[in-house]
Amino acid sequence: MKEWCTARELADASLAGLPDTERGVQLFAQREGWNESLAYVRRRAGRGGGVEYNVCLLPTSARIAFERRHRAIEAPEPAPLPIETPATAISDRAARERDARLAVVAAFQAFGRGQRLGNASRSKIFVDAYNGGTLIIDAWIREIIPTLSPRSLARWCAARKSGRTDRLAVDRAAARKGKGVLDVACGGRVRTYLLALIAHNPHLSAQHLRTLIRSEFGDQLMMADGQMVEVPPVRTIQHAVARLKKDEAVTLTKLSNPDRYRSTMAPSGVGTYRWVQEPNTLWMIDASPVDALCVDGRHSIYAAIDIATRRTRLYVSRTPRASAVALLIRKAITAWGAPETIKTDNGSDFVAQDTKRLFASLGIEMQLSDAYSPQQKGHVERVIKTFQHDCATLLPGFVGHNVADRKRIEDRKSFAARLGEDTAETFGVSLTGAQLQATVDQWVDVIYEQRTHAALGTSPMLAAAASRKPIRTVDPRALDLLLMPVAEGGGIRTVTKFGVRVDNFHYVINAAFPGDRVLVRHDPNDAGRIIAFDADSGIYVGDGICPELAGVDPAELLRVKREFSAEYRAEKTRPIQKEIKKLTTGPALIDRMLEVARRDMPNVIALPKREENHSTPAIAAALDAMVPREAPAPSADVLAMQARLIAEDTVVPLRTEETPHQRWQRALDVIARMRGGETVSADEAMWLGSYRTGAEYQARALMHGDPMETKNPAASWTDAAGQQSL
């Protein structure tokens, strides 16, 4: 309110008891001695000078009239409030009540300042002006305090003066809150039961709830003081339910709609992954059905996102499976390089043994989020939602993001128009799975990675380009091999004398021997070939050939395997045989044992002992039997037979037939001489041509490589044999 006025302003106000001209007011001020009151008279700072008078100098009637016109009751200047604790905290309604009362007290104190009236008179005039509507009052204050009494004003002033403004904070609804019959009856069990009914079935009416309360607790409820009261009427229950739904909204949402609670109400951290600053530090992967149909059915979208740059790769799969995860990882690694860590959920396709084996082979750490906790991988959840609402919405065959959306899309056509149509016609399905994949890739490259990401302040493409961190690249050929499917049952097989059994077929692996454990991978392009790795170390063992599926003569393949095994075993046993030969040609084992035992004997000389001869009749008879006798000479017939046997030719002739191995070596030699420019005979050339068309040559060429396709066939055979022998 304006409290300083010039003589002209007072004259223009036409106040009771004051002249209505400027000169008259000046003369009135001179007569009343206003100019002598230094506290209420000041020099005017504006243009023209002069003096200004405080409204406190006005006569009582003029002052009251001026206050009624210009005094406004409004919220006071905000002042620092004491820190509230749970015990002293007040509701919003109580705070508004307190502020309204303080505003009235402040206006009354300003109204009475400088008045030459007693407190009771000032209070009476102020209250009458307030109730009469002649004071300027903020609407919210008038709403809270529609009328005023001198007693209430005096009580509020006393509380303001003593500093006990908390007494002015009154919330009558809060005072009654939690004390209703349904809140306290039966020790609070009625309230808990009512909350359980609302959470279990939100569609129950108040009449249903009242009947169920009567069924559970009876027609009368016990209060805290032991009194029995009737179950409240339906109207009371309606108000109670409305209050419970408002006060316990979070609790009821958690019980009745856990997904909504988790996405909108559950505590969630902000900036949890701000420590991820460099690309390929952490990826997140997840999958979700696409909100659009294809001509070959509904597909799933697998998404991988790099947390540092928000780059994204998407892979479309007909059904969720571990191979889809592997192909997504291959696609992302080919584009970005290998990551350090990948975080995913506990889906069967993500925790499959094939997926774990792939991550271990690539040196990628796998992190699993807690079960039913999608918020722990919110980045990939968000990018999937972005795809569904940005890209999938525009696809032909869009079916909506939920059942309600799908129903609205179907309702675009009347039932009669839809009658006889299939789903593809209703939703305008036209894309195949391959076309959907091409469209998704273009959306990622052209739209998603080019626009500014709110969290980065730049686009994912520019964020990745700004990084100087080296990229860990992987040869695509190695990726393709690691992505080959393993044999059923985890892929681990034990080699037997028949080879490795996979899908009821036996595969022969040259460098694998009975008892070895190998990890078997299928060659997707050749059913007759498998690739074997050591089950413990992961080292490449060799390829396995199934003669039935590869179109090779089983007998020839087995002969090659036996020859390779013989050579391998010969190479392995050669040093052992040398040692055995040393053992057989040197001192006997017992002599070696005795020699070592003699070295270990203590250096002690035994003294001779006294001896005496012991004899019995049996000993004497044995000595008589041991007397030496001369052996009879051989007869003439025996000597003649020995001479005849010596003279006869008993030597067995050696076998001259050429073995398969010798024929193979002979072919290598002829080919090497032909390659070296030497002249071979016509018989050798004809023999080589005939031998190459046989099954024996083809089986060996399949196992060791065709020598006609190498520069040095003999060296090639030697290197291959040496490599296999290792």
- In CATH terms, the fold of domain 485-550 is SH3 type barrels. (2.30.30)
Query: Which three-class secondary structure state does DSSP give residue 343?
Result: strand
Place of tokens 């084992």: 589
**Per-residue pLDDT for 290 more than 60?**
yes
575-594 exposure pattern, b = at least 16 Cβ within 10 A, e = fewer: eeeeeeeeeeeeeeeeeeee
**Per-residue pLDDT for 417 more than 70?**
no
Query: Which three-class secondary structure state does DSSP give residue 431?
Result: coil
Q: Rounded to whole angstroms, how far apart are CA atoms 706 and 547?
A: 17
- E runs forming strands in 239-295: 282-294
Model confidence band, residue 365 (pLDDT cutoffs 50, 70, 90): very high
CATH value of 282-395+431-465 in 1.10.287.470, 3.30.420.10, 3.40.50.300, 3.40.190.10: 3.30.420.10
Q: pLDDT per residue over 607-626, tens digit each?
A: 777 777 878 888 788 877 77
As to burial, measured by CB atoms within 10 angstroms (0-12 exposed, 13-18 middle, 19+ buried), residue 606 is exposed
Ranked by mean pLDDT, the top range of 82-96, 256-270, 438-452, 632-646 is 438-452
Q: pLDDT per residue over 252-284, tens digit each?
A: 888 888 777 777 776 665 667 888 889 999 999
**Per-residue pLDDT for 41 more than 50?**
yes
Please report the pLDDT score of residue 268 as a whole number.
Answer: 63
The CATH number of the domain covering residues in 4-70: 1.10.10.10
The predicted model gives 16-25 an average pLDDT of: 82
Q: pLDDT higher for 230 or 263?
A: 230
Please report the pLDDT score of residue 441 as a whole number.
Answer: 94
Dihedral angle sign, alpha carbons of residues 171, 172, 175, 176: negative
**Per-residue pLDDT for 178 more than 70?**
no
Please report the pLDDT score of residue 249 as a whole number.
Answer: 87
Please report the pLDDT score of residue 335 as a whole number.
Answer: 92
**Per-residue pLDDT for 425 more than 70?**
no
**Per-residue pLDDT for 351 more than 80?**
yes
Q: pLDDT per residue over 377-404, tens digit each?
A: 889 999 999 999 999 999 988 888 887 7
Give span(s): CATH 3.30.420.10, the chain: 282-395+431-465
The predicted model gives 694-713 an average pLDDT of: 74
The predicted model gives 572-585 an average pLDDT of: 80
Q: Rounded to whole angstroms, how far apart are CA atoms 519 and 517?
A: 7
Q: Rounded to whole angstroms, how far apart are CA atoms 622 and 515?
A: 59
3-state secondary structure 559-603: HHHHHHHHHHHHHHHHHHHHHHHHHHHCCCHHHHHHHHHHHHCCC
Ranked by mean pLDDT, the top range of 109-113, 311-315, 348-352, 663-667 is 311-315
Place of tokens 């009239």: 65
Please report the pLDDT score of residue 711 as a whole number.
Answer: 55
Nearest by Cα to 294 from 384, 396, 387, 391:
396
Give span(s): CATH 2.30.30, the chain: 485-550
Q: Which two tokens stand for residue 253?
A: 């949402």
From the CA atom positions of the chain, what is the Rg in Å? 53
Percent of the chain with pLDDT over 90: 16
Backbone phi, psi, residue 313, to 5°: -130, 140
Q: Which two tokens stand for residue 417?
A: 């128009």
Give span(s): CATH 1.10.10.10, the chain: 4-70
Q: pLDDT higher for 35 or 683?
A: 683
Q: pLDDT higher for 370 or 408?
A: 370
Q: Rounded to whole angstroms, how far apart are CA atoms 578 and 512?
A: 25
What's 55's DSSP letter?
Answer: G
**Per-residue pLDDT for 71 more than 70?**
no
Model confidence band, residue 426 (pLDDT cutoffs 50, 70, 90): low
Q: Rounded to whole angstroms, how far apart are CA atoms 78 and 92?
A: 16
Q: pLDDT per residue over 515-537, tens digit each?
A: 889 988 887 777 788 888 888 87
Backbone phi, psi, residue 368, to 5°: -110, 130
Biggest CA pair distance of the chain: 190
Please report the pLDDT score of residue 716 as a whole number.
Answer: 43
Q: Amino acid letter at 273?
A: Y
With residue 342 as reference, give the H or E element that holds it. strand 341-344
